[in-house]
Protein backbone atom coordinates (compact mmCIF):
# COMPACT_ATOMS: atom_id res chain seq x y z
CA UNK A 1 0.00 0.00 0.00
CA UNK A 2 1.19 3.51 -0.83
CA UNK A 3 1.91 6.51 1.39
CA UNK A 4 -0.14 9.25 -0.19
CA UNK A 5 -0.73 12.93 0.35
CA UNK A 6 -3.68 14.84 -1.06
CA UNK A 7 -3.14 18.59 -1.36
CA UNK A 8 -6.36 20.61 -1.30
CA UNK A 9 -9.54 19.34 0.32
CA UNK A 10 -12.22 20.70 -1.99
CA UNK A 11 -14.62 18.44 -3.82
CA UNK A 12 -11.93 16.58 -5.68
CA UNK A 13 -9.43 16.38 -2.81
CA UNK A 14 -11.74 15.09 -0.08
CA UNK A 15 -13.25 12.50 -2.40
CA UNK A 16 -9.88 11.36 -3.67
CA UNK A 17 -8.39 11.23 -0.16
CA UNK A 18 -11.29 9.22 1.32
CA UNK A 19 -11.41 6.85 -1.66
CA UNK A 20 -7.66 6.21 -1.57
CA UNK A 21 -7.87 5.53 2.18
CA UNK A 22 -10.77 3.14 1.57
CA UNK A 23 -8.51 1.19 -0.78
CA UNK A 24 -6.05 0.74 2.10
CA UNK A 25 -3.52 3.47 1.27
CA UNK A 26 -2.18 5.69 4.08
CA UNK A 27 -3.38 9.19 3.39
CA UNK A 28 -2.44 12.59 4.76
CA UNK A 29 -4.64 15.36 3.37
CA UNK A 30 -3.63 19.00 3.56
CA UNK A 31 -5.61 22.19 3.38
CA UNK A 32 -4.44 25.69 4.22
CA UNK A 33 -7.90 26.37 5.70
CA UNK A 34 -7.56 25.25 9.33
CA UNK A 35 -11.32 25.26 10.01
CA UNK A 36 -11.83 22.88 7.12
CA UNK A 37 -9.10 20.61 8.46
CA UNK A 38 -10.73 20.56 11.90
CA UNK A 39 -14.16 19.66 10.57
CA UNK A 40 -12.85 17.03 8.15
CA UNK A 41 -10.84 15.48 10.99
CA UNK A 42 -14.16 15.18 12.85
CA UNK A 43 -15.65 13.36 9.87
CA UNK A 44 -17.71 16.30 8.61
CA UNK A 45 -17.78 16.69 4.82
CA UNK A 46 -18.51 20.37 4.02
CA UNK A 47 -20.67 19.59 0.95
CA UNK A 48 -23.36 17.11 -0.01
CA UNK A 49 -22.00 14.00 -1.71
CA UNK A 50 -23.78 10.66 -1.36
CA UNK A 51 -21.62 7.97 0.29
CA UNK A 52 -18.68 10.26 1.07
CA UNK A 53 -19.32 10.98 4.79
CA UNK A 54 -19.56 7.23 5.47
CA UNK A 55 -16.33 6.53 3.59
CA UNK A 56 -14.53 9.34 5.43
CA UNK A 57 -15.71 8.20 8.85
CA UNK A 58 -14.62 4.63 8.13
CA UNK A 59 -11.20 5.81 6.98
CA UNK A 60 -10.78 7.98 10.09
CA UNK A 61 -11.80 5.11 12.37
CA UNK A 62 -9.33 2.79 10.62
CA UNK A 63 -6.64 5.50 11.03
CA UNK A 64 -6.01 5.38 7.29
CA UNK A 65 -6.41 9.13 6.87
CA UNK A 66 -5.59 12.29 8.76
CA UNK A 67 -5.85 15.99 7.95
CA UNK A 68 -3.26 18.69 8.45
CA UNK A 69 -2.30 22.24 7.54
CA UNK A 70 1.38 21.51 8.06
CA UNK A 71 3.40 21.02 4.88
CA UNK A 72 6.14 19.17 6.76
CA UNK A 73 3.62 16.38 7.54
CA UNK A 74 2.91 16.03 3.84
CA UNK A 75 6.58 15.85 2.87
CA UNK A 76 7.45 13.44 5.70
CA UNK A 77 4.51 11.05 5.43
CA UNK A 78 4.03 10.53 1.70
CA UNK A 79 5.92 9.35 -1.36
CA UNK A 80 3.14 10.21 -3.79
CA UNK A 81 1.55 13.68 -3.63
CA UNK A 82 -1.77 14.33 -5.38
CA UNK A 83 -2.31 17.95 -6.35
CA UNK A 84 -6.07 18.56 -6.01
CA UNK A 85 -6.36 22.32 -5.46
CA UNK A 86 -9.00 24.44 -7.18
CA UNK A 87 -8.51 26.31 -10.45
CA UNK A 88 -11.56 28.62 -10.53
CA UNK A 89 -12.25 31.27 -13.14
CA UNK A 90 -10.43 34.56 -12.55
CA UNK A 91 -12.87 37.31 -11.51
CA UNK A 92 -11.98 39.71 -14.32
CA UNK A 93 -11.27 37.29 -17.15
CA UNK A 94 -12.30 33.95 -18.58
CA UNK A 95 -8.92 32.36 -17.80
CA UNK A 96 -8.24 29.94 -14.94
CA UNK A 97 -6.80 31.22 -11.68
CA UNK A 98 -3.67 29.17 -10.99
CA UNK A 99 -2.75 30.88 -7.73
CA UNK A 100 -3.64 27.83 -5.60
CA UNK A 101 -1.40 25.63 -7.76
CA UNK A 102 1.47 28.12 -7.51
CA UNK A 103 1.09 28.45 -3.78
CA UNK A 104 0.94 24.66 -3.27
CA UNK A 105 4.07 23.88 -5.27
CA UNK A 106 6.03 26.73 -3.74
CA UNK A 107 5.17 25.43 -0.25
CA UNK A 108 5.94 21.83 -1.08
CA UNK A 109 9.06 22.08 -3.27
CA UNK A 110 11.61 23.13 -0.57
CA UNK A 111 10.51 20.18 1.59
CA UNK A 112 11.02 17.49 -1.05
CA UNK A 113 14.34 16.06 0.08
CA UNK A 114 13.92 12.58 -1.40
CA UNK A 115 12.64 11.13 -4.67
CA UNK A 116 8.86 11.26 -4.96
CA UNK A 117 5.97 11.41 -7.37
CA UNK A 118 3.76 14.48 -7.71
CA UNK A 119 0.45 13.68 -9.39
CA UNK A 120 -1.52 16.59 -10.85
CA UNK A 121 -5.28 16.12 -10.79
CA UNK A 122 -6.52 19.72 -10.90
CA UNK A 123 -8.00 20.94 -14.20
CA UNK A 124 -5.40 23.22 -15.78
CA UNK A 125 -4.73 25.06 -19.04
CA UNK A 126 -2.56 23.03 -21.40
CA UNK A 127 1.12 23.70 -20.76
CA UNK A 128 0.78 23.96 -16.97
CA UNK A 129 2.20 20.51 -16.16
CA UNK A 130 5.41 21.27 -18.03
CA UNK A 131 6.21 24.37 -15.97
CA UNK A 132 5.15 22.70 -12.71
CA UNK A 133 7.60 19.90 -13.42
CA UNK A 134 10.38 22.36 -14.24
CA UNK A 135 9.62 24.40 -11.14
CA UNK A 136 9.69 21.35 -8.85
CA UNK A 137 12.99 20.11 -10.25
CA UNK A 138 14.56 23.56 -9.93
CA UNK A 139 13.27 24.29 -6.43
CA UNK A 140 13.36 20.95 -4.59
CA UNK A 141 16.42 19.61 -2.75
CA UNK A 142 15.68 16.25 -4.45
CA UNK A 143 15.90 17.98 -7.87
CA UNK A 144 15.46 15.50 -10.71
CA UNK A 145 14.25 12.91 -8.20
CA UNK A 146 10.90 14.74 -8.17
CA UNK A 147 8.78 13.33 -10.98
CA UNK A 148 5.45 14.75 -12.12
CA UNK A 149 2.59 12.74 -13.63
CA UNK A 150 -0.54 14.42 -14.97
CA UNK A 151 -3.63 12.39 -14.07
CA UNK A 152 -6.86 14.31 -14.80
CA UNK A 153 -9.98 13.59 -12.81
CA UNK A 154 -13.41 13.17 -14.38
CA UNK A 155 -15.62 12.80 -11.32
CA UNK A 156 -19.19 14.04 -11.45
CA UNK A 157 -20.76 15.62 -8.40
CA UNK A 158 -23.39 13.29 -6.99
CA UNK A 159 -21.39 10.27 -8.24
CA UNK A 160 -17.99 11.36 -7.01
CA UNK A 161 -17.20 8.25 -4.95
CA UNK A 162 -18.27 5.85 -7.67
CA UNK A 163 -16.39 7.82 -10.35
CA UNK A 164 -13.21 7.84 -8.25
CA UNK A 165 -13.29 4.15 -7.34
CA UNK A 166 -14.58 2.95 -10.73
CA UNK A 167 -13.49 5.54 -13.30
CA UNK A 168 -14.34 5.26 -17.03
CA UNK A 169 -10.66 5.58 -17.84
CA UNK A 170 -7.36 6.42 -16.19
CA UNK A 171 -5.22 8.92 -18.06
CA UNK A 172 -1.55 9.38 -17.19
CA UNK A 173 0.56 12.11 -18.75
CA UNK A 174 4.18 11.19 -18.10
CA UNK A 175 7.76 12.14 -18.85
CA UNK A 176 9.39 9.01 -17.41
CA UNK A 177 8.14 5.52 -18.21
CA UNK A 178 9.08 4.22 -14.75
CA UNK A 179 6.49 6.53 -13.16
CA UNK A 180 3.63 4.47 -14.60
CA UNK A 181 4.06 1.66 -12.09
CA UNK A 182 3.76 4.05 -9.12
CA UNK A 183 0.28 4.97 -10.28
CA UNK A 184 -0.83 1.58 -11.56
CA UNK A 185 -0.08 0.18 -8.08
CA UNK A 186 -2.26 2.83 -6.47
CA UNK A 187 -5.07 2.28 -8.98
CA UNK A 188 -4.67 -1.52 -9.04
CA UNK A 189 -8.28 -2.30 -8.12
CA UNK A 190 -9.72 -0.18 -10.93
CA UNK A 191 -7.20 -1.53 -13.44
CA UNK A 192 -7.93 -5.12 -12.36
CA UNK A 193 -11.56 -4.37 -13.22
CA UNK A 194 -10.43 -3.60 -16.81
CA UNK A 195 -10.59 0.20 -16.59
CA UNK A 196 -8.88 1.48 -19.76
CA UNK A 197 -5.46 3.02 -19.13
CA UNK A 198 -4.26 5.77 -21.46
CA UNK A 199 -0.59 6.68 -21.10
CA UNK A 200 0.47 9.81 -22.93
CA UNK A 201 2.40 13.09 -22.63
CA UNK A 202 1.57 15.99 -20.32
CA UNK A 203 -0.14 18.18 -22.90
CA UNK A 204 -2.44 15.43 -24.14
CA UNK A 205 -3.39 14.43 -20.61
CA UNK A 206 -4.24 18.04 -19.76
CA UNK A 207 -6.29 18.38 -22.93
CA UNK A 208 -8.27 15.17 -22.32
CA UNK A 209 -10.01 16.83 -19.39
CA UNK A 210 -10.86 20.11 -21.07
CA UNK A 211 -11.84 18.40 -24.31
CA UNK A 212 -14.23 16.06 -22.45
CA UNK A 213 -15.91 18.95 -20.65
CA UNK A 214 -16.05 21.10 -23.79
CA UNK A 215 -17.67 18.22 -25.67
CA UNK A 216 -20.27 17.64 -22.95
CA UNK A 217 -21.09 21.35 -22.78
CA UNK A 218 -21.39 21.47 -26.56
CA UNK A 219 -23.79 18.54 -26.55
CA UNK A 220 -26.05 20.29 -24.05
CA UNK A 221 -26.06 23.61 -25.91
CA UNK A 222 -26.58 21.77 -29.19
CA UNK A 223 -29.79 20.19 -27.92
CA UNK A 224 -30.87 23.43 -26.26
CA UNK A 225 -30.51 25.25 -29.59
CA UNK A 226 -32.85 22.61 -31.01
CA UNK A 227 -35.21 23.19 -28.08
CA UNK A 228 -35.61 26.79 -29.31
CA UNK A 229 -36.36 25.47 -32.79
CA UNK A 230 -38.75 22.86 -31.44
CA UNK A 231 -40.68 25.51 -29.52
CA UNK A 232 -40.93 27.63 -32.63
CA UNK A 233 -42.22 24.90 -34.95
CA UNK A 234 -44.09 22.64 -32.51
CA UNK A 235 -41.57 19.77 -32.54
CA UNK A 236 -40.60 17.65 -29.53
CA UNK A 237 -36.94 18.03 -28.53
CA UNK A 238 -37.12 14.98 -26.23
CA UNK A 239 -38.21 12.67 -29.04
CA UNK A 240 -35.61 14.29 -31.28
CA UNK A 241 -32.89 13.54 -28.70
CA UNK A 242 -34.12 9.94 -28.35
CA UNK A 243 -34.10 9.42 -32.09
CA UNK A 244 -30.65 10.89 -32.78
CA UNK A 245 -29.35 9.25 -29.60
CA UNK A 246 -30.04 5.80 -31.10
CA UNK A 247 -27.19 6.54 -33.48
CA UNK A 248 -24.30 5.14 -31.44
CA UNK A 249 -21.99 7.72 -33.03
CA UNK A 250 -24.06 10.39 -31.26
CA UNK A 251 -25.38 8.68 -28.10
CA UNK A 252 -28.36 9.79 -25.99
CA UNK A 253 -26.53 11.00 -22.89
CA UNK A 254 -26.11 14.75 -22.28
CA UNK A 255 -28.87 15.52 -24.76
CA UNK A 256 -31.43 16.54 -22.15
CA UNK A 257 -32.72 19.96 -23.09
CA UNK A 258 -33.76 22.40 -20.40
CA UNK A 259 -32.27 25.33 -18.53
CA UNK A 260 -28.70 24.37 -19.39
CA UNK A 261 -25.54 23.47 -17.58
CA UNK A 262 -23.92 25.00 -14.53
CA UNK A 263 -21.64 23.96 -11.69
CA UNK A 264 -18.00 24.42 -10.85
CA UNK A 265 -16.61 22.73 -13.97
CA UNK A 266 -18.34 22.95 -17.35
CA UNK A 267 -18.86 26.75 -17.50
CA UNK A 268 -15.40 27.71 -16.25
CA UNK A 269 -13.64 24.99 -18.23
CA UNK A 270 -15.06 26.09 -21.59
CA UNK A 271 -14.10 29.69 -20.77
CA UNK A 272 -10.58 28.73 -19.68
CA UNK A 273 -10.15 26.70 -22.86
CA UNK A 274 -11.10 29.70 -24.99
CA UNK A 275 -8.66 31.87 -23.04
CA UNK A 276 -5.84 29.37 -23.55
CA UNK A 277 -6.66 28.90 -27.25
CA UNK A 278 -6.55 32.65 -27.63
CA UNK A 279 -3.11 32.84 -25.95
CA UNK A 280 -1.95 30.24 -28.48
CA UNK A 281 -3.33 32.29 -31.39
CA UNK A 282 -6.13 29.80 -32.06
CA UNK A 283 -9.14 31.73 -30.83
CA UNK A 284 -11.02 31.62 -34.15
CA UNK A 285 -11.08 27.82 -34.02
CA UNK A 286 -12.66 27.85 -30.58
CA UNK A 287 -15.27 30.53 -31.33
CA UNK A 288 -17.95 27.83 -31.19
CA UNK A 289 -17.43 27.55 -27.44
CA UNK A 290 -18.42 31.19 -27.09
CA UNK A 291 -21.66 30.25 -28.76
CA UNK A 292 -22.03 27.18 -26.52
CA UNK A 293 -21.68 29.48 -23.51
CA UNK A 294 -24.13 32.03 -24.93
CA UNK A 295 -26.81 29.47 -25.80
CA UNK A 296 -26.39 28.10 -22.30
CA UNK A 297 -26.74 31.47 -20.56
CA UNK A 298 -29.69 32.41 -22.77
CA UNK A 299 -31.72 29.49 -21.43
CA UNK A 300 -31.95 31.21 -18.07
CA UNK A 301 -33.31 34.42 -19.63
CA UNK A 302 -35.69 32.38 -21.73
CA UNK A 303 -37.30 30.88 -18.63
CA UNK A 304 -37.52 34.29 -16.98
CA UNK A 305 -39.30 35.65 -20.08
CA UNK A 306 -41.54 32.60 -20.20
CA UNK A 307 -42.55 33.26 -16.59
CA UNK A 308 -43.20 36.90 -17.44
CA UNK A 309 -45.32 35.88 -20.43
CA UNK A 310 -47.27 33.37 -18.35
CA UNK A 311 -47.97 35.86 -15.56
CA UNK A 312 -48.16 39.00 -17.75
CA UNK A 313 -46.09 40.80 -15.11
CA UNK A 314 -43.57 39.52 -12.59
CA UNK A 315 -44.08 42.40 -10.22
CA UNK A 316 -45.26 41.20 -6.82
CA UNK A 317 -46.12 37.73 -8.16
CA UNK A 318 -45.42 34.74 -5.92
CA UNK A 319 -43.23 32.17 -7.66
CA UNK A 320 -42.33 28.81 -6.18
CA UNK A 321 -38.98 27.45 -7.30
CA UNK A 322 -38.15 23.78 -6.93
CA UNK A 323 -34.40 23.39 -6.75
CA UNK A 324 -31.42 25.67 -6.17
CA UNK A 325 -28.44 23.36 -6.80
CA UNK A 326 -26.94 23.17 -10.30
CA UNK A 327 -27.98 19.53 -10.48
CA UNK A 328 -29.58 16.90 -8.23
CA UNK A 329 -27.62 15.02 -5.54
CA UNK A 330 -25.48 18.10 -4.99
CA UNK A 331 -25.69 21.23 -2.86
CA UNK A 332 -23.37 23.13 -5.18
CA UNK A 333 -24.69 26.57 -6.13
CA UNK A 334 -21.77 27.56 -8.33
CA UNK A 335 -23.12 28.96 -11.60
CA UNK A 336 -26.42 27.21 -10.88
CA UNK A 337 -29.03 27.84 -13.61
CA UNK A 338 -31.81 27.30 -11.03
CA UNK A 339 -30.43 29.91 -8.65
CA UNK A 340 -29.66 32.29 -11.53
CA UNK A 341 -33.30 32.15 -12.63
CA UNK A 342 -34.54 32.60 -9.05
CA UNK A 343 -32.41 35.72 -8.60
CA UNK A 344 -33.39 37.19 -11.98
CA UNK A 345 -37.08 36.73 -11.15
CA UNK A 346 -36.57 38.30 -7.75
CA UNK A 347 -34.80 41.26 -9.37
CA UNK A 348 -37.76 41.64 -11.70
CA UNK A 349 -40.06 42.08 -8.70
CA UNK A 350 -41.34 38.55 -8.00
CA UNK A 351 -41.48 37.06 -4.49
CA UNK A 352 -39.50 33.84 -4.61
CA UNK A 353 -40.33 30.83 -2.41
CA UNK A 354 -37.39 28.51 -2.89
CA UNK A 355 -36.98 24.87 -1.93
CA UNK A 356 -34.07 22.48 -2.31
CA UNK A 357 -33.62 19.23 -0.38
CA UNK A 358 -29.99 19.93 0.55
CA UNK A 359 -28.79 23.31 -0.76
CA UNK A 360 -30.80 25.67 1.46
CA UNK A 361 -28.01 26.16 4.05
CA UNK A 362 -25.78 27.42 1.20
CA UNK A 363 -28.60 29.67 -0.05
CA UNK A 364 -29.08 31.13 3.44
CA UNK A 365 -25.34 31.63 3.87
CA UNK A 366 -25.39 33.87 0.79
CA UNK A 367 -28.13 36.08 2.20
CA UNK A 368 -30.08 36.20 -1.06
CA UNK A 369 -33.38 37.99 -1.77
CA UNK A 370 -35.44 34.77 -1.73
CA UNK A 371 -37.49 33.01 0.94
CA UNK A 372 -35.86 29.64 1.58
CA UNK A 373 -38.46 27.11 2.71
CA UNK A 374 -37.29 23.91 4.33
CA UNK A 375 -40.48 21.91 4.10
CA UNK A 376 -41.47 21.07 0.54
CA UNK A 377 -45.13 20.87 1.65
CA UNK A 378 -45.04 24.59 2.46
CA UNK A 379 -43.29 25.99 -0.58
CA UNK A 380 -46.39 26.03 -2.80
CA UNK A 381 -48.59 28.21 -0.61
CA UNK A 382 -50.20 30.99 -2.66
CA UNK A 383 -47.97 30.49 -5.72
CA UNK A 384 -48.98 32.17 -8.97
CA UNK A 385 -46.49 29.98 -10.81
CA UNK A 386 -44.26 27.00 -10.00
CA UNK A 387 -40.88 26.45 -11.68
CA UNK A 388 -39.23 23.03 -11.58
CA UNK A 389 -35.51 23.77 -12.05
CA UNK A 390 -33.37 21.03 -10.46
CA UNK A 391 -34.49 17.49 -11.19
CA UNK A 392 -34.45 16.01 -7.69
CA UNK A 393 -36.30 12.68 -7.49
CA UNK A 394 -38.38 14.19 -4.68
CA UNK A 395 -40.03 16.60 -7.13
CA UNK A 396 -41.02 13.86 -9.55
CA UNK A 397 -42.83 12.19 -6.65
CA UNK A 398 -44.92 15.25 -5.75
CA UNK A 399 -48.68 14.69 -6.01
CA UNK A 400 -49.96 17.51 -8.27
CA UNK A 401 -53.49 17.07 -6.88
CA UNK A 402 -52.41 17.78 -3.28
CA UNK A 403 -50.26 20.77 -4.11
CA UNK A 404 -52.94 22.04 -6.52
CA UNK A 405 -54.94 22.94 -3.42
CA UNK A 406 -52.14 25.11 -2.06
CA UNK A 407 -51.26 27.29 -5.04
CA UNK A 408 -53.13 30.36 -6.30
CA UNK A 409 -52.81 29.17 -9.92
CA UNK A 410 -52.08 25.68 -11.21
CA UNK A 411 -49.30 26.64 -13.62
CA UNK A 412 -45.90 25.00 -13.74
CA UNK A 413 -42.87 25.38 -16.02
CA UNK A 414 -40.73 22.25 -16.09
CA UNK A 415 -37.23 23.55 -16.79
CA UNK A 416 -35.87 20.01 -16.90
CA UNK A 417 -38.55 18.35 -19.06
CA UNK A 418 -38.98 15.38 -16.73
CA UNK A 419 -42.37 15.77 -15.03
CA UNK A 420 -45.17 13.46 -16.19
CA UNK A 421 -47.44 15.44 -18.51
CA UNK A 422 -50.55 13.26 -18.01
CA UNK A 423 -50.20 13.26 -14.24
CA UNK A 424 -50.00 17.04 -14.04
CA UNK A 425 -52.54 17.80 -16.78
CA UNK A 426 -55.08 15.36 -15.31
CA UNK A 427 -54.74 17.16 -11.99
CA UNK A 428 -55.76 20.38 -13.75
CA UNK A 429 -52.32 21.95 -14.18
CA UNK A 430 -51.10 23.94 -17.14
CA UNK A 431 -47.64 22.41 -17.62
CA UNK A 432 -45.06 24.06 -19.86
CA UNK A 433 -41.93 22.24 -21.01
CA UNK A 434 -38.96 23.62 -22.92
CA UNK A 435 -39.04 22.40 -26.50
CA UNK A 436 -42.09 20.18 -26.38
CA UNK A 437 -45.30 20.73 -28.32
CA UNK A 438 -48.49 21.86 -26.70
CA UNK A 439 -46.51 23.47 -23.97
CA UNK A 440 -46.88 27.08 -25.20
CA UNK A 441 -43.21 27.66 -24.53
CA UNK A 442 -42.37 29.62 -27.70
CA UNK A 443 -42.08 33.27 -26.82
CA dist 78 and 20 (Å) reads 13
CB of 163 to ligand UDX, least distance (A): 7
Residue 153 exposure: Cα atoms within 13 Å on the Cβ side: 29
CA dist 167 and 413 (Å) reads 36
Strand segments, DSSP code E, in 179-281 are: 197-200
Task: Decide if 265 is catalytic.
Answer: yes
CB of 6 to ligand UDX, least distance (A): 17
CA dist 358 and 237 (Å) reads 30
Measure CA 142 to chain center.
36
DSSP codes, 392-422: -HHHHT--HHHHHTTSSS-EEEETTS-S-HH
Q: Which is nearer to ligand UDX, 21 or 339 (CB)?
A: 339
List the catalytic residue out of 19, 84, 116, 265: 265
Q: Which is nearer to ligand UDX, 131 or 254 (CB)?
A: 254
Q: Which is nearer to ligand UDX, 256 or 346 (CB)?
A: 256
Q: Which is nearer to ligand UDX, 261 or 424 (CB)?
A: 261
Nearest residue to 392 (alpha-carbon basis) of 372, 365, 419: 419
CB of 401 to ligand UDX, least distance (A): 28
3-class DSSP assignment, residue 19:
helix
How long is the chain? 443
CB of 142 to ligand UDX, least distance (A): 31
114 CB neighbour count, 10 Å cutoff = 11
Q: Which is nearer to ligand UDX, 271 or 327 (CB)?
A: 327
CB of 98 to ligand UDX, least distance (A): 18
Measure CA 439 to chain center.
30
Interface residues with ligand UDX (CB under 6 A) are 154-157, 213, 216, 220, 254-256, 258, 260-263, 265-266, 326-327
Catalytic positions: 265
Amino acid sequence: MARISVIGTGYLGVTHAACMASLGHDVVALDVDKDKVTSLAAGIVPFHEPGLPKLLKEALAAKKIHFTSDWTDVAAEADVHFLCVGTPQLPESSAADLSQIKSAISSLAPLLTKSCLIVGKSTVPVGTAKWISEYLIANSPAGKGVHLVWNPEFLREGFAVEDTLYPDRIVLGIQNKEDISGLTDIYASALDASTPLVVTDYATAELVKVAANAFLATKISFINAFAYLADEVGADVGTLADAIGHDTRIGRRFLNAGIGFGGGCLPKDIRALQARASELGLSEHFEFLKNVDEVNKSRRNYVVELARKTLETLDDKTITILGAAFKPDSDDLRDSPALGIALALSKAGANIQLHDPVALPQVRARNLPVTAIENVEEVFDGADLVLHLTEWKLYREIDPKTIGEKVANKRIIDGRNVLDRDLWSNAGWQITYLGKPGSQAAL
